[in-house]
Amino acid sequence: MTAQSPSSLRKPLPFDAARLDRLMDDADIDVLVATSKHNIQYLLGGYRFFFYDTMDAIGDSRYQNALVYQKGRPENALYIGCRMENFEVELAKFWTPAVDTTSLKPAVTLARVGAHIKKLGGIRRVGVEADFLPASGDATLRAALGTIEIGDAFLPLERLRARKTPAEIAHLRHASEQVVETMKEAFAACAPGRTKAEIVETMRRGEVNRGLVFDYCLMTAGTSHNRAPSGQQLNKGDILSIDSGGNYHGYIGDLARMGIIGASPDAELIDHLGWIEEVQQATRRLVKPGCRGGDVIQTGDEMVKSSKHAAYSDYLAHGMGLVSHEAPRLRHQGPTPYPGYDVDRPLESGMVLSLETTMRHPLRGFIKLEDTILVTESGYESLGDGARGWNRAGG
């Protein structure tokens, strides 16, 4: 079915439309087309179609939904989904005046996007999510738009999401706390003779039982630096690193904690984790509104480079939210390379950072702390801040 556009919105807009309009002006975009799950979820106020939440492929193609937003004219917005989303229409999930639930494949969806934009009239430039637009949909959209220019909507959409709402912060806080609680359970299960793969499965079950969607678990044991799940058996005295991401309503809790099986850490291990904690605390103390984003990275980098652990350690800070490594972007290069848009810009309240210090010691193994830090009005709050020391593993 296709719902015709009424004269007013179905429900209040779930995002700051004035801010989005300014961002679209900056990007010289008249209309944006969202095709990624995370941006559609954000623009629809938390909606993600349950049937395709963890998969896209069906039949000979894939599910492709889309949301069209015209700058300054939310009454012209359109959401396109599949026929099973009729159920969601009945549940009043959408604010967009027009909802089309007769599509499925990328080419069909983007043909309807193009037809809708052409009917708006006077559109000069359309912004798309180039990295989240299948080739078949891109070709169809370009044919439908004719001479209308196509640009990139990535930056305005990411900047719109950069400052988290209270509801988003609550999701991130809950996800972070539950990941740490699951880690405590996993450390307790790390008995000699068990395997890394079994402990990762403990993490998966624990996060799911706590209402999260399990994303990943990176784990090391003993002196190995290999973080993949495997049949490696655990031994008494092994040091353990668990780094896991679990999401709550799409918002990612991503933290790393340390343990040791059936023993107490020796003085050297205490010193190593203590130094990592010093770097973490020094950089988080900088976090507040107005702090230059690049200073957080620079301080951590300088502490690592000036230490005796420089040859095998590194520091990283990045944004967190619906996407791992989203705004604020605090360095120009790194393990996930992207332009450091926020290096010389101030941090703002509502932004969320992940701070991580990692030591790959050639003799003692892999040692790491990763924290999730919220920029508040007056400083910072650490989300899920428990279990930061050497956790006694194995019961």
Can you give the length of the chain in residues? 395
Helix (H, G, I), strand (E, B) or coil at 114: helix
Other Cβ atoms closer than 10 A to 8: 9
Task: Write out the two tokens for 226.
Answer: 């290999």
Query: What does the pLDDT read at residue 333?
Result: 76
Alpha helices in the chain (DSSP H): 17-26, 37-43, 86-90, 106-120, 135-145, 154-161, 166-188, 196-209, 267-284, 293-305
Closest of 141, 124, 159, 113 to residue 28, by C-alpha: 124
Bridge partners, 240 (sequence order): 221, 259
Report how far residue 368's alpha carbon sits from residue 258's, in angstroms, rounded to the nearest whole number.
Answer: 7
Report how far residue 38's alpha carbon sits from residue 152's, in angstroms, rounded to the nearest whole number.
Answer: 16
Bridge partners, 214 (sequence order): 246
Among residues of the chain, what percentage have pLDDT more than 70?
Answer: 98
| Rg for the chain, CA atoms, rounded | 23
Q: What confidence tens digit (pLDDT) does each residue in 335-367 have?
A: 777 889 999 999 999 999 999 999 999 999 999
Which CATH number is 166-393's, of 3.40.50.300, 3.90.230.10, 2.40.10.10, 3.40.50.360?
A: 3.90.230.10
Q: What confidence tens digit (pLDDT) does each residue in 63-120 have?
A: 999 999 999 999 999 999 999 999 999 999 999 999 999 999 999 999 999 999 999 9
Q: What confidence tens digit (pLDDT) does each residue in 116-145 have?
A: 999 999 999 999 999 999 999 999 999 999
- Domain residue spans in the chain? 2-161, 166-393
Other Cβ atoms closer than 10 A to 287: 23
> Which secondary structure element, helix H or strand E, spans residue 260, and what is its range?
strand 251-261
Report how far residue 88's alpha carbon sits from residue 72's, in angstroms, rounded to the nearest whole number.
Answer: 26
Cβ proximity of 127 and 23 under 8 Å: no
**Cα dihedral sign, 34-36-37-42:** negative
Kindly report the CATH class assigned to 2-161.
alpha beta
Report phi then psi at 151, rounded to 5. -125, -165
For the chain, helix (H) and strand (E) counts, in that order, are: 10, 17
Report how far residue 89's alpha carbon sits from residue 98's, in angstroms, rounded to the nearest whole number.
Answer: 11
Closest of 37, 40, 70 to residue 148, by C-alpha: 70
Task: Write out the two tokens for 28.
Answer: 């010289």
Residue in this structure with the two tokens 């708006």, named with its chain if needed? 120
> Which secondary structure element, helix H or strand E, spans residue 270, and what is its range?
helix 267-284
Query: What does the pLDDT read at residue 168?
Result: 97
Instruction: Report, as ranges of residue numbers, the positions in the chain whose pLDDT lies below 50.
Output: 1-6
Report how far residue 56's alpha carbon sits from residue 231's, in angstroms, rounded to the nearest whole number.
Answer: 31
